[in-house]
């Protein structure tokens, strides 16, 4: 029987493929680091943001700036630590001047994000902001669906059977940071995370 490579090795393979396939060379040329993601490879929850900002680019780690501090604070509020979850972005190089990622950049990185998902197999994907949401639930407005878990079927690369996945769309912590009402909404939505995970476990029994 073939030996399965471990999850860390499979994630490393994805990183190497991004480099080998020269994904978004213009972004790569202006970036300090390729920011793949971090956390537990066995996480039940995967957070997916947009793209690295300045601090993330410099450190090579996702969500380490002001938005990341807010994310850490909300994680603590539901008794989770960064090392209990997996955190990544759709686009893995910092766009210049922190502009929004372009549709073609998101599309170019999408297959690699699906491969990360296929390795980690979280129960719940938390999309942070509209860029991440629109790939999982095309056409949905974040203002209409935030905080509402949605069940999806997805075929992972290399698979032939659709797998069930729960998406929890949240506002982006950077957008909510300095907007009082959005901040409260995000914190309320975030507090639902344990309930969403437990619901998913009971449904799959």
Site string for ligand URA, 127-166 (x = CB under 6 A): ----------------------------------------
Among positions 23, 51, 114, 197, the unique one binding ligand URA when judged by CB under 6 A: 51
> Is 56 one of the binding residues for ligand URA (CB under 6 A)?
yes
> Is 62 one of the binding residues for ligand URA (CB under 6 A)?
yes
Between 180-190 and 66-77, two packed helices, what is the crossing angle to 10 degrees?
A: 40
> Given the rule CB under 6 A, which of 16-24, 52-60, 159-167, 188-196 is the region that contacts ligand URA?
52-60
- Residues touching ligand URA, count (CB under 6 A): 11
Smallest gap from Cβ 3 to ligand URA, in A, equals 34
- 86-89/45-49 β-pairing: parallel
> Is 86 one of the binding residues for ligand URA (CB under 6 A)?
no
β-bridge mates for residue 131, sequence order: none
> Is 169 one of the binding residues for ligand URA (CB under 6 A)?
no
Comparison of 69 and 76: residue with beta carbon closer to ligand URA: 69
> Is 89 one of the binding residues for ligand URA (CB under 6 A)?
yes
> Given the rule CB under 6 A, which of 1-9, 50-58, 102-110, 136-144 is the region that contacts ligand URA?
50-58
Q: What contacts 24+ positions apart, CB below 8 Å, involve 146-151?
A: 146/170, 146/171, 146/185, 146/186, 146/189, 147/185, 147/188, 147/189, 147/192, 149/124, 149/192, 149/196, 149/199, 149/200
- 163-170/124-128 β-pairing: parallel
List of residues 6+ apart from 137 with CB closer than 8 A: 127, 145, 150, 152, 167, 169
Among positions 39, 53, 95, 122, the unique one binding ligand URA when judged by CB under 6 A: 53
The residue length of the chain stands at: 205
Give the span between the Cα atoms of 13 and 17, in whole angstroms.
6
Among positions 34, 45, 47, 52, the unique one binding ligand URA when judged by CB under 6 A: 52
Footprint on this chain of ligand URA (rule: CB under 6 A): 49-53, 56, 62-63, 67, 89, 174
């Amino acid at each position: 029987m073939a030996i399965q490579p471990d999850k860390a090795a499979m994630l490393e393979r994805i990183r190497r493929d991004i480099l080998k396939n020269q994904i978004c060379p213009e972004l790569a040329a202006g970036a300090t680091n390729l920011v793949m993601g971090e956390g537990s490879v066995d996480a039940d929850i995967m957070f997916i943001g947009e793209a690295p900002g300045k601090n993330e680019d410099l450190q090579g780690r996702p969500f380490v700036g002001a938005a990341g501090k807010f994310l850490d604070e909300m994680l603590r509020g539901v008794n989770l630590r960064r090392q209990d979850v997996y955190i990544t972005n759709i686009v893995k190089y910092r766009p210049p001047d922190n502009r929004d990622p372009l549709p073609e950049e998101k599309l170019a990185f999408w297959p690699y994000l699906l491969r990360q998902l296929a390795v980690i197999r979280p129960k719940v994907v938390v999309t942070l902001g509209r860029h991440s949401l629109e790939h999982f639930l095309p056409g949905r407005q974040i203002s209409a669906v935030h905080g509402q878990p949605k069940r999806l079927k997805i075929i992972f690369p290399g698979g032939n059977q659709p797998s069930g996945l729960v998406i929890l769309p949240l506002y982006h912590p950077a957008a909510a940071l300095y907007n009082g009402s959005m901040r409260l909404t995000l914190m309320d939505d975030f507090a639902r995370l344990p309930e969403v995970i437990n619901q998913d476990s009971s449904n799959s029994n």
